[in-house]
Amino acid sequence: MRPRKVPATSLAHSLVVPHTRDTRRLFTRLNKASLITLAKRWLDPAHVKQFSPNLVLPPPDDEEFSLEEALEVYDDFAHSNAIRAKDVAERMLEVEWRDGASLLGIAELEWQCAYYLPTHCCLRQLTPRYTRFG
């Protein structure tokens, strides 16, 4: 068997890609619990380099905050009934990941969407991409 060739220009999984309409849609398709689970996993100190959150508040505040403070915000979101999934998605898109999501983060979003919404449009969007042959 011939050795498998790896492309010389492969992309790193931590590469940050600016948000597009499709990535924003992935964030808004998920429910509150799954968004909070993703945010906590992405803010875990062991995974922070892979998901590259921006820990400086957007202008005009420009204050830095720690991972612990960001995790506390998502813990408060989880315990509050007044917070909706849309609010969590907005926080993720406009604060911690306002510069974009990493390739690994986008992949996790897609799989989370396919797992929690198997009959929803996410699966219809993913299926043609992964079932094309030749």
Give pLDDT tens digits for 71-91.
999 999 999 999 999 999 999
CB 51 within 8 A of CB 92: no
Token output for 133: 């042959």
pLDDT at 134: 44
CB 102 within 8 A of CB 15: yes
Q: What is the mean pLDDT of the chain?
A: 81
- Share above pLDDT 90 across residues of the chain, in percent, rounded to a whole number: 26
Lowest mean pLDDT among 21-30, 46-55, 116-125: 116-125
